[in-house]
Structure 1
Amino acid sequence: MTTPLGRLAVQPGTHRLAVERALRGTGPAAPMTGVWARISRHAEDHPNRVAVRHATLDITYAGFARRVRQMAAALSAQGCTAGDLVAVLMARSADAIVAFVAVEALGAVHVPIDPAWPTARVDELLQRIQPRCVVSVGQDDHPVRQSGLRAPGTSGWTGMPAPGAPEMPLPPRSAVPGEARYIIHTSGSTGRPKGAIVTQEGMTNHIAAFISNFEIDERDVVAWSAPPGFVISVWQMLAGLLVGGTVAVIDDATLGFGRLLAAHLHREGVTVLEAVPTIIGWLVAARRELPALRCLVSTGEKLEPALAASVCSALPHTRLFNVYGASETSDDVTIHCVQPADTESPRIPIGRPIPEVTLYLLVDEGGRWRAAEHGEAGQLWVGGRSVGIGYFGEPALTQAAFFVDEFDPDSPTGRLYHTGDIARFIGGTVHCLGRADRQIKVAGVRVELDEVEATIGRLPAVARCAVVPYADNGVTRIAVHYVPATAEPVEAVAAQARLALPTAMVPRRWNCVEELPCNTNGKTNYRELAAIHTKGNL
């Protein structure tokens, strides 16, 4: 599974300077041992240890391995073999993890489908990727399953095997370098989701870095809290199992309420949890002691210093991490352990690169790139083992985001990924400044919307905020929606902002709200906020 790559146009001298100023992850490369190979060994050594816990159901390693062999047999009966695409319609559950491992054990490519997606999106996706088969994990009532949809080349649907179903011998197979392992569909500017292809070594390198940095071992209980269609769900499903620990599956109904989530974490003895800042805020607000929780990982959005300080105060025994990455880079490529001093800074660093990853900072000048100077902001590029193959069936989109790595002739992938994020390297640590597409011009002045958001978010009267641009008779303006922390009137808060921001960065519109709208993954829904101004509702 290969895709064409773009060629990077650079200014003279860029290669040498980019290499000199790059940040490189240190530490040994992750072994290429497959997921099934590790889990099956744990099943032999500790058959009665709990592998997955979901609600009242505990599945031992022996039981989990049995289910994997049964699932692999069912897939083989559908003609699935190495390299085939297997679409899996699944919500978070123990069987969803079984399905992933069975697909991996056969050398096939896992394509998760979230049942919460619109039916039309699922239909279109299946028709486009034409998987060998489609697995329904507890989703037999889903409209797409009921329709019996058969995409070209698809042998059919299969469900999870019944207890006592036939098993198949499943010896651990050797991973093939560059082998596609799963495809994650991300939002696309065309309105059609893009399928980012992640390799076996990219996946294992990322998970190994998390296991090492978070010191995960057989005593840990790692929470699976992410939607199944998001890249962060992969390490949450697998990291605990790779070391002989336990995975605790958390349902949506629990995630949506801080007190319920805190009670669940306490009851299940969860030791490692990854969540977006919104959910972390709910958890802190629950004001419950969580003695078992030793690692809390913030992902997906900017971690505000005020929230980080609240975590450090409410959960003093818990290590807080800030991580950064993308589906196109096998999930996170930087990790930062938050220190008390970080909470006094304007922004929390996203950290240093994980092993086998190299980060470059480049500045676009008229379509030709140059290396950023020391301390200068530039756009972040990722090279190394974590860079994925590209977008499935989308050569033009792939060439626009994935490039030949001409900086590192020894790169294990030979690919560079253009993140589109603006960053700065300070003392060997990466500080993310926001999206390049969150840059606008107001009265001829270039404005970083994330900087405006960060400044307003630090005002004493503001708990949370989101900033969006809007057009006022053809002139670009800034609007802010904020959740109040005090009872101060909007006019007073706006006056405080005028003292903290240059004139061009001061929002013209202010909207005080009870909550900011969120997407299904807990991130702020900027599109919904922007639509308010497009429709003239403010």
Structure 2
Amino acid sequence: MRSDLLAKLSSLSPEKRAWLQKQMQKKENKEALPLSYAQQRLWFMDRFNPNSSLYNIPTVWHLTGNWIPEALEKGFNRLIERHESLRTVFKEIGEQPVQQIVEFLPRALPVRDYSQLPLEVKEKEVDSLIAREAQEPFDLMNGPLIRNQLVQLEKDEWLLLCTMHHIISDAWSIGIFMNECLAFYEEETGGNPAKLSSLSIQYADFAKWQKECLQGDVLNRQLTYWQEELSGELPILQLPVDRPRPVKQTYFGAAHHVIFPYKLLSQLKDISRQEGSTLFMTLMAAYQSFLARYTGQKDILVGSPIANRNHKGVEGLIGFFVNTLVYRSDLSGTPTFREILNQTKKKALKAYEYQDIPFEKVVEAVQPERSMSHSPIFQTMFTLQNIKQERLDLPDRSIEMVESNMSIAKFDLSLTAYEVEEGLFVSFEYNTDLFDSSTIARMAGHFENWLNEITYHPDESYTKLLMLSDTEQKQLLEEWNDTDVVYGHDCMIHELFEQQVARTPDAVAVVYEGGKLTYQELNEKSNQLAHFLQKRGIGPESLVGICIERSPDMIIGLFGILKAGGAYVPLDPSYPENRLRYILENSQIQVLLTKEALQDWLPKDIQAICLDRDQVMISKESNLAPVSGVTANNLAYIIYTSGSTGNPKGVMIEHHSVINRLQWMQKKYPLSEEDTILQKTPFSFDVSVWELFWWSFVGARVCLLPPGGEKDPAVIEEYIERYRVSTMHFVPSMLSTFLDYMELYNSKRDVSSLIQVFTSGEALNTEQVRRFKGIFYNAQQTKLINLYGPTEATVDVTYYDCDLEKEPMLIPIGRPIDNTELYVLDQYQQVVPIGVAGELYLGGVGLARGYFNRPDLTTERFIPHPFKDGERLYRTGDLVRYINDRNLEYIGRIDNQVKIRGFRIELGEIEAALHDHSSVKEAVVLVKEDRPGDKQLVAYVVGEGDTGEWREYLKKQLPHYMVPAYFFQIEGMPLTPNGKVNRKALLELEEQFISEDITSSRTPVEELIVSVWSQVLGIKNISVQDSFFEIGGHSLLATQVVSRLQGIFQIELPVRELFEYTTVESLAKRLEQLRKGDKKREIPPLIPMKRGEAIPLSYAQQRLWFIDQFTPNSALYNMPMVCRLTGNWLLEALETGWNQLIERHESLRTVFQEVNGQPVQQIEPYAFQSIPKTDLTMLASED
């Protein structure tokens, strides 16, 4: 870049050049000299992370021919004498760092002789020595800060190892070091005189000059540019890492080296010449645009070093001159590479103009958000070196720099490039705590492809350029989507059921509390209902609503609708009436199956068939299968999911799609006639589809969990044992609750029938898998399968069999099921490489027909297939990436949709409902996750109402799982610099959901309940009037509360009790009732314990113990009491009574100690205590 700088310097104003040429003064005091700004940063880093080799600069030189070690030693010493920086140490005076120049003393050059070692041993010793030398930390206070070693490999072959600390040197200095050392060597061996010009100034003069000159207008002018350039949010570069970023940044590194062909280098130079730019500018533009495509980000920041030797007299100095410039690119829109290059060129020229300001001052002025986990401002570096002198050939000897892999990475990723004879050498230095070597190797290949693309298509939008090779493109588009198999594409759900009825008519099909149905009975009852529906106009494409709790009638109703030719539309009876009415209106349902007790809310124009009330009429219909004319391409059901516009949207699924999904499941995880599926998912969610129908194809049976039982682990466990359940499903968060229950109670129930458990609905984590393995797999080899899929693609599209033999590191969502295509595309619908995040697009026979009565949304989400004419893809909105083993990893959402406890929720729908309230001006709903796996909805509202009013309003509009746990009433929304709502700032608001009027617990039972709630909810200051579900509780946390209360009180407490008695006060009264009314539920009697044992503290004592540890010597919890005694009192009798009281009550003789880190109470033996007496009778009244 030296030519770039000289060209730029010549164009500077006379004032600027005069400032740069301002004479540096030779220092007089060598005892306490200031540090340059760059040195200050490294000094701080050394104090922050002592004994680190992070800023070592190791170099290795390969010497061949006739070399004289003694002459090399003399050359080194003359060099050290010449450059004060090589004799500098760093001290602290008055808490300020200073540099001191140490007087020159000759140093020996250590020589190691490996020439006699066997080759294999020699190579190992050399590698070990190089690694040790590079990683040995320096002592900045005592020095020296340079080390040299000479290793003899053969008679005429050597390695020269030189390591310096960055605080006294930089990359430019290495060239000076070697050139001058060789010049001195030549002179010492009788060759040409060194002829080196004297050094009029030294590095410390530069440091002093920098501190004096960079102030006032000069400093402000420079800083203003960088403050403007780096204003606003500075995004963290989201490179596709293989492991999560550590909480504290690490610097363990490795490097991957490649050489891009000379032809490619020539093409890059050609486009540089065409645009009047330098090769550096072209490569920087290429790297930034590549990163934009690799990360999906538009605002890209890259650091780059600059020599910073533009002042007279410093070009030949060894020292830490290098500065860092930041290149920020705006890649929004669809610019061509030529346009990007010209933007980079302008930015580079501006950066050169304001290069004098040290990067440390820029950071100080910009004040970026600091984090221990990553570097400030930028996380990647790009360097183009054109001062590389790799090899020097002399008449009888040669010296060549050896590339050594440093095990250090200062940034997430750094690219260093320089020209070689074969083309462009590029080194990818990467953090090994973030990246695998295979990932970086693949990235290097993609970068080479990218460089070829920009040179061949410089006038094409960068959004259309390709990174992948043809082989990779074929692999991702075709080979990994080769899932075509034959399936029952012309079959219907009820048709396969009827075929099974013919095979096993007397087999049990449905079991439930209090009864069972055989295949024949279920078939006949559903046939009768189908005939009844057909007489009311139901046929193919007719929509029939069904609003029935989980029961045999629900199963009969579903099969009856399908047999009549219709499609079912499930309406959950627990939904608010407003939501049920919307679904009825939107779907234009004319017939609804329900129960008499559930029909009060129905509009009058809906034809309601009550399966209990109308049973007599229905039973008169034929029990033979009706003829409906329905085909596999007709609708089977419409399920409504959350919608971002404020209302749910109906997803239309056809029969053949369901058949493909269920036949794949039977092929992959076969059921037999001995199996039982537990049906516990509400039928308004698509997971219920395989629970409701899979068994019916194969002669297995379904067990119906009672309504509400899906929330109670005890009920689930009971049904697994009672009905020998073999197959079931959990949302991962409910799986955690179930595992909590199993661990807490160590139940003796026989659950050995359970052979396979499926999870879906939200991310499954490694801890859940680890716990499942401990409880189920180790004991009975139960399999755990992770599924993924949206309602729009018929339940599930991927599967992953958890490997329970190994320690889980990552739980992917897996590979595609039969006849399903998966495409990971970027925002420009280009295929992304393995490891890079993109949006998941789905294709295949499982795609929904679309959204009912929403052609606009159907067109938006179901797009023309970009790789197959005449077909469609569904945009999931889910961010995923392929990992190396071909499995997909789920990363998150790209929009405002979330999944909480398996429920798919559009945050926009909740916000829209809030905005409909007359007192709400603004509303934002976010997800908060204070504890891993426990996601909560939080509403931030600007308005005149109160949170209770808004909560009750939403309960009437939305399902319970969409009502936020917390409501924050705020004066106004915090905004980002560009005027958008600052969601991060909202999440950092003080949690204001704690009740203002706190009524503390008044009884032991209330105290225990408050303690349990506090532990489960993770909050303090709970009032006895607080409602569990209004301070963050939900159904899964309710099961944890019930489990703990059952453990404490040793009673049976159904989960539904907490839903009925929601406050501490009411729940405590209920527990007292259970205690008095049912001996089996009675609180165990208090039994005296042995006094020799360590006695635990009560919950209240634990709290005061903690406060005393936190605030020692406090009188906060003293309970003073003063009694005025008048009349005839015998003080001796009072003292005797006092001591009898102390002897009688152990609490008055109790002290508190800590044993193994836990507080315990210890009862002291009784000893007589005198009451101190103070006689004030002689004092005046006012005294």
TM-score scaled by structure 2? 0.36
* 8 Å contact from structure 2 (residues 878, 890) kept in 1: yes
SS of residue in 1 equivalent to 2:684: coil
Q: Which residue of 2 aligns with 1:354?
A: 817
Worse-matched range after superposition: 22-31 or 415-424: 22-31
Give yes or no for the alignment of 1:158 onto 2:622. no
2:761 pairs with one of 294, 300, 305: 300
* 8 Å contact from structure 1 (residues 79, 132) kept in 2: no
How far is 1:28 from its partner? 2.6
Q: Which residue of 2 aligns with 1:369?
A: 829
Aligned equivalents of 1:430, 1:148: Cα separation in 2: 45
* 8 Å contact from structure 2 (residues 539, 630) kept in 1: no
How far is 1:20 from its partner? 4.2
Aligned equivalents of 1:521, 1:103: Cα separation in 2: 37
1:398 pairs with one of 848, 855, 858: 858
2:636 pairs with one of 168, 181, 189: 181
SS of residue in 2 equivalent to 1:47: coil
2:722 pairs with one of 267, 285, 298: 267
Q: Which residue of 2 aligns with 1:50?
A: 508
Give yes or no for the alignment of 1:91 onto 2:544. no
Segments of structure 1 that go 5 or more residues without pairing to the other structure are: 1-8, 440-455, 482-510, 523-538
Distance 1:147 1:422, change over 3 A: closer
Distance 1:521 1:324, change over 3 A: farther
* 8 Å contact from structure 2 (residues 770, 807) kept in 1: yes
Q: Which residue of 2 aligns with 1:451?
A: none
Q: Which residue of 1 aligns with 2:775?
A: 314
How many aligned positions are there?
451
Which residues of 2 match residues 400-419 of structure 1 at below 5 A?
400-409=860-869, 414-419=871-876
Bigger proportion of residues as strand: 1
How far is 1:45 from its partner? 2.7
1:191 pairs with one of 646, 663, 688: 646
Give yes or no for the alignment of 1:21 onto 2:485. no
Bigger proportion of residues as helix: 2
Distance 1:29 1:13, change over 3 A: farther
Amino acid of the residue matched to residue 609 of structure 2?
T
Deviations 1:37-93 (A, max 9, x none): 222233233222110111111001111011111110110121111111111112212
Distance 1:388 1:521, change over 3 A: farther
How far is 1:109 from its partner? 1.4
* 8 Å contact from structure 2 (residues 798, 814) kept in 1: yes
Aligned equivalents of 1:25, 1:140: Cα separation in 2: 50
Q: Which residue of 1 aligns with 2:597?
A: 141
Give yes or no for the alignment of 1:331 onto 2:781. no
Distance 1:29 1:286, change over 3 A: farther
How far is 1:417 from its partner? 0.5
Aligned equivalents of 1:120, 1:520: Cα separation in 2: 25
Aligned equivalents of 1:323, 1:403: Cα separation in 2: 24
Aligned equivalents of 2:497, 2:504: Cα separation in 1: 10
Aligned equivalents of 1:521, 1:75: Cα separation in 2: 42
Which residues of 2 match residues 491-502 of structure 1 at below 5 A?
none
* 8 Å contact from structure 1 (residues 383, 416) kept in 2: yes
Deviations 1:357-376 (A, max 9, x none): 00000011xxx321112221
Aligned equivalents of 2:628, 2:483: Cα separation in 1: 28
Aligned equivalents of 1:124, 1:134: Cα separation in 2: 14
Aligned equivalents of 1:85, 1:423: Cα separation in 2: 35
Aligned equivalents of 2:577, 2:815: Cα separation in 1: 40
Q: Which residue of 1 aligns with 2:46?
A: none
How far is 1:266 from its partner? 1.2
* 8 Å contact from structure 1 (residues 25, 353) kept in 2: no
Which residues of 2 match residues 274-293 of structure 1 at below 5 A?
274-287=729-742, 288=747, 289-293=750-754
Aligned equivalents of 2:474, 2:634: Cα separation in 1: 28
Deviations 1:158-211 (A, max 9, x none): 122526432254257776353221100000011111001111111111111222
Distance 1:312 1:11, change over 3 A: same
Give yes or no for the alignment of 1:224 onto 2:679. yes
How far is 1:302 from its partner? 0.8
How far is 1:344 from its partner? 3.0
SS of residue in 1 equivalent to 2:529: helix
Q: Which residue of 2 aligns with 1:477?
A: 984
Amino acid of the residue matched to residue 727 of structure 2?
V
Aligned equivalents of 1:196, 1:521: Cα separation in 2: 31
Aligned equivalents of 2:596, 2:1037: Cα separation in 1: 24
Give yes or no for the alignment of 1:74 onto 2:519. no
Q: Which residue of 1 aligns with 2:878?
A: 421
Distance 1:165 1:134, change over 3 A: same
Amino acid of the residue matched to residue 375 of structure 1?
G
2:700 pairs with one of 242, 245, 270: 245
Segments of structure 2 that go 5 or more residues without pairing to the other structure are: 1-460, 898-928, 941-972, 977-981, 990-1016, 1021-1027, 1039-1183
Q: Which residue of 2 aligns with 1:257?
A: 712
Amino acid of the residue matched to residue 11 of structure 1?
K
Distance 1:423 1:513, change over 3 A: farther
Aligned equivalents of 1:513, 1:213: Cα separation in 2: 45
Aligned equivalents of 1:468, 1:417: Cα separation in 2: 27
Distance 1:79 1:360, change over 3 A: same
* 8 Å contact from structure 2 (residues 592, 609) kept in 1: yes
Distance 1:19 1:97, change over 3 A: farther
SS of residue in 1 equivalent to 2:830: strand
Aligned equivalents of 1:343, 1:417: Cα separation in 2: 35
Amino acid of the residue matched to residue 812 of structure 2?
P
Distance 1:193 1:342, change over 3 A: farther
Deviations 1:498-520 (A, max 9, x none): xxxxxxxxxxxxx9359965589
How far is 1:128 from its partner? 2.0
Distance 1:226 1:14, change over 3 A: farther
Aligned equivalents of 1:168, 1:61: Cα separation in 2: 13
How far is 1:14 from its partner? 9.9
Aligned equivalents of 1:148, 1:324: Cα separation in 2: 35
Amino acid of the residue matched to residue 615 of structure 2?
A
Aligned equivalents of 1:94, 1:47: Cα separation in 2: 17
TM-score scaled by structure 1? 0.77
Q: Give percent identity, aligned residues only.
A: 23
